[in-house]
Structure 1
Amino acid sequence: MAGIIAGATVVSMAACSNGTTDGTSTSSDTETTIDDEIENPVSVGDISIDAGEEVEPAELEYLGGYDITTAGDVKPAYKYFSENYGCTIKCTLVGSGQIQEKLTTAISSGESPDLVDYSDDTFPLLMSKNMYTPLEEYMNMSAPQWAGVESYINQYKWGGKNYYYPWAYNVSPNFLVYNRGVFEQIGIEDPKELYDKGEWTWDTMTDCIRKFIDSDADGNRTGLYGATAYSAQSFINSTGTALISVGADGKLVQNFSNANVDRAANFMQTLKNEGLASFQEGVMDVDITPIKEGTAAFQGMGEWIISNYAKLMQKDDTLDYFFVPFPRDPEADEYYYSMSTFGYLVPAGSKYAKQASVFINCCRLSFTDEDLRATTKGSIMRNKKYTDEMYDFLMSFKDLDNLHAVIDNPYGLDETTSQIIRDILGNTLFEMFSEQYQGQTWTQMREASLGTINKQIEYYNGLL
């Protein structure tokens, strides 16, 4: 298959965050409940890492969706940065849909922040508007924390420059959460055990959903619900194909007419038409009630949702929730997973790009340095309340060497086109009751949208 990169198989472009809704993105892989030193005490006094040369102490400004000084998986990196480099970070929290507007205003007024979240529209939309500072002069790619990820970083290169150095690499950023206790009561084989045996496929997932629905004589149980476009994209990526890929020349290529994409779309339409993928009345994608009450088989959602279930289990040890990646395409040659990255960019006009780069290095070292990683694990476990089984399984999807990853973010074009893509993906898997797409097949929606998508691809490629 084309697009192979050593280690994980990278078949395209950038994916960043998971969404609470498909209209916006969130800092899902790092979003946590705000903690304090009582709830989550973190000590880094015995840790020694090299995150870069000394810098002038400064107060950096961060613009994004969560407090990066207290979030469980970032707090140890921040404490090390603060205690050893003499810098602090002031957080301005905004909704993900507001970041572009706030950032544009700040840059134009000469008040640029120093750190901002990567989001769905970062690449190529905001990069093409010169919203960020290139970081090559501050980043040492020969440093051990960046070993093995240069090929991924270069997937986000724009105009020959590197603006984005992700510190988190999440193979399978979206999961199918299920009530394992209810599955056991019904007599449905545990999806995690099917996954462990290499038998977690589109077909076995469909069988699980059918058995789940059929177990209720009153007809109150439903199948799959959740993040509409991201769930659909996960099924497509399981074929090993990205909707938008980056070619060897660095230019964008759309794959919406690829036979694998069509096959995945036909599978999803079957789930929808047979009532196996649907929303219960009044239920939103982020609502955990159907899984909690055992009335829905699976919730397709970003990794961030798992903490919500873990906290319920901590309060009641009779509960048993778990999760699996989206299933394998039975016709694919390997098990392919969607992949997202997360990290921060330094906006254009930042006065503290060097300090911000040191902080990014600290964050990356929280994955690669043994001591800081152990401290970060403790912080995550206290903050997110994962069970050991949950944590270990999640961490297995950070191992880039042993997984086949498809990097695909089709939502980084202009706002209108990105919303069209979300809509046609969501309407392929779920009945969204959209006046524009009501009753249309994938093929009809795709053909009506290809002209707009191609125009955007041509526009961005013309800038390179």
Structure 2
Amino acid sequence: MVKRKMKWSMVLLLALTLVSSACSGGGNTPEPSGNNAGEEQTNAGSGSGDNKEPVTIEFMGHGNPTEKSIFEKLIASFEDKYPNVTVKYTSVPPGEYAQKMKTLIASGKAPDVFYVGSAEFYRFAEAGTLLNIQPYLDQTSLFNPDNVWKQAMDRYRYDGSKIGSGDSYGLPKDVGPWAMVYNKDLFDKAGVPVPSAKAGEWTWNDMLDAAKKLTSDENGDGKPEVYGVGAYSLESAVWGNGGEFIDYAAGEVKVDQPEFYEAMQFVADLNLVHKVSPDQEAEQAMNAYTRFLNGQLAMFAMGPWDQPGFWELPFGWDIAAWPASPNTGKTATWLGSMGFGISAKSKHPQEAFDLAAFLSLDADGQRENFTLGQAVPNLIDMANGEFLEMDKSPANRQVFLDIIQDYGRPDIPYGSKDTQWIDTFWQNASKVWTGEMTAKDWTAQMKPQMQELYDKNNK
């Protein structure tokens, strides 16, 4: 999945450059290959394979040391189930992944299986870099379309001209609901009621009132030791307020609309006016993630992949729905996802699909994945059953599922072949965060630049 997004810190989203390959994403559909492909697909997940020729495949992903450790365990389980297959696993730092993939694809040495997400998927599918796995899905007993989140599967469909429909060119590694996490101990100490887990019951006004009571400057130096809220999600504010970054259907950037700039100003004013959120200087000294781990931030954001680290925290915590806009009464947040792509040039497409399917669809793989704290299960019955019944935090696990089913939205780069238009937004947003310009004036200035970049590279 797309990992942590620190918009308040203006982290530049790295865009992976399109590298064309010989075949077109909308061209001929490859057929399953490998020894006894049809039989192997029908029995996928059975563990049969003792008499097959040894095969080695390469798998490359990215993530922190916790994610690497989790995937090492998952791969070991896969190799137990498919004893003829050896997986050469490489995990690279997230900041190096885009360039590494670009180099490998250009040299014809792409891994058999690799992470792909957001705009990367669009480019890779269009360029023919990804294998059309629909024939494999049609034959495997692992895939029940009624038991896998449609919101996740549709991220990796491509019909030759757009994403979201057509054949599958990838499988979801995960679907990542971005929830609001809070420090229960700080709320209890301040005597503040905790935020609601139900969407729409807690508004921006409720959040701001709580944040004021939770912000603490005990030594009076003007620099709070504890802040009420940090790295507040601009997407959540904009979408909840009825705004949009872009209308993909019309190809129109929408940041200059009142619903957008009013929401952006609200986020900026959490620091500029209300002083309940770290300013950029404080954020650079200690980012919001570290501040939350240190018990110095009452409300933050988390995805399911954060659970292993949060399980070790010395204070109580739980998750809630993002606050609703008081103007609309609606709640929204982003629903990230990372996928498993298979190289169209893989010499072992069957075994590569088996690995991707084990990591994405196999019940054993999914169970191990969620119990290790990596993700919400892709399998709906498991998510509604075993996942909700876990005896580990967060207690309000249903919030993750509510986001997936009800009010989660794809992240902004979804639907773009090139992300320069949104990259330039985040690169220059400091003018609003620091108070140099109002959100209204800045978005009016930015709209033409963003529109020009979008039209140039995406139409």
Same fold (TM over 0.5): yes
CA contact (8 A) 2:112 2:352 kept: yes
2:452 aligned partner: 455
The residue type paired with residue 299 of structure 1 is F
Distance (Å, rounded) in 1 between the aligned partners of 2:365 and 2:136 = 22
CA contact (8 A) 1:226 1:301 kept: no
Displacement after TM superposition at 1:439 (Å): 0.3
Match of 2:354 among 358, 374, 377: 358
Q: Which has the higher mean CA deviation after the structures are superposed, 69-78 or 273-282?
A: 69-78
After superposition, the C-alpha distances for 1:250-285 in whole angstroms (9 at most, x for unaligned) are: x75533234432331132133232123224265332
Match of 1:169 among 172, 175, 180: 175
What does 1:139-288 correspond to in 2, within 5 Å? Answer: 139-140=137-138, 143-144=143-144, 147=147, 149-150=149-150, 152-158=152-158, 159-160=160-161, 162-171=168-177, 173=178, 175-191=179-195, 194-196=196-198, 199-213=201-215, 216=218, 218=220, 219=222, 220-221=224-225, 223=227, 226-227=230-231, 231-239=233-241, 241-247=243-249, 252-274=251-273, 275-279=275-279, 280=282, 282-285=284-287, 287-288=289-290
Note the residue ranges of structure 1 that are not aligned, 5 or more in a row: 1-14, 27-47, 314-318, 432-437
The residue type paired with residue 165 of structure 1 is L
Displacement after TM superposition at 1:214 (Å): 5.9
The answer as to 2:96 corresponding to 1:91 is no
CA contact (8 A) 1:17 1:120 kept: no
Match of 1:330 among 326, 332, 336: 326
The answer as to 2:400 corresponding to 1:404 is no
CA RMSD of the aligned region, Å?
4.0
CA contact (8 A) 1:16 1:409 kept: no
CA contact (8 A) 2:229 2:277 kept: yes
Match of 2:56 among 44, 59, 83: 59
1:358–1:425 CA distance, 2 compared to 1 (3 A): farther
After superposition, the C-alpha distances for 1:111-159 in whole angstroms (9 at most, x for unaligned) are: 1211222245414455455443332232239931564544653455443
1:5 aligned partner: none
Displacement after TM superposition at 1:19 (Å): 3.5
**Corresponding residue SS for 1:140:** helix
CA contact (8 A) 2:420 2:453 kept: no
1:380 aligned partner: 373
Distance (Å, rounded) in 1 between the aligned partners of 2:397 and 2:69 = 15
Distance (Å, rounded) in 1 between the aligned partners of 2:319 and 2:289 = 16
CA contact (8 A) 1:77 1:359 kept: no
1:113 aligned partner: 111
Note the residue ranges of structure 2 that are not aligned, 5 or more in a row: 16-41, 162-166, 375-388
CA contact (8 A) 1:73 1:377 kept: no
Match of 1:443 among 422, 440, 445: 440
CA contact (8 A) 2:304 2:373 kept: no
The residue type paired with residue 59 of structure 1 is T
After superposition, the C-alpha distances for 1:335-356 in whole angstroms (9 at most, x for unaligned) are: 3332111221123423233322
CA contact (8 A) 2:261 2:443 kept: no
1:294–1:81 CA distance, 2 compared to 1 (3 A): closer
Distance (Å, rounded) in 2 between the aligned partners of 1:149 and 1:394 = 17
1:29 aligned partner: none
CA contact (8 A) 2:203 2:325 kept: yes
After superposition, the C-alpha distances for 1:345-392 in whole angstroms (9 at most, x for unaligned) are: 1234232333222222222335xx4x65544444439xxxx9835255
Higher relative contact order, chain-length normalized (CA < 8 Å, sep 6+):
1
CA contact (8 A) 1:17 1:25 kept: no
CA contact (8 A) 1:241 1:406 kept: no
Q: Normalising by structure 2, what TM-score?
A: 0.72
1:261–1:282 CA distance, 2 compared to 1 (3 A): closer
Taking every aligned residue pair, what percent have the same amino acid on both sides? 19
1:254–1:408 CA distance, 2 compared to 1 (3 A): farther
After superposition, the C-alpha distances for 1:161-195 in whole angstroms (9 at most, x for unaligned) are: 54233242223x2x44333212211111122xx33
The residue type paired with residue 417 of structure 1 is W
**Corresponding residue SS for 1:380:** coil
After superposition, the C-alpha distances for 1:392-433 in whole angstroms (9 at most, x for unaligned) are: 5346414677422211323855464343122345654x43xx
1:39 aligned partner: none
Q: Normalising by structure 1, what TM-score?
A: 0.71
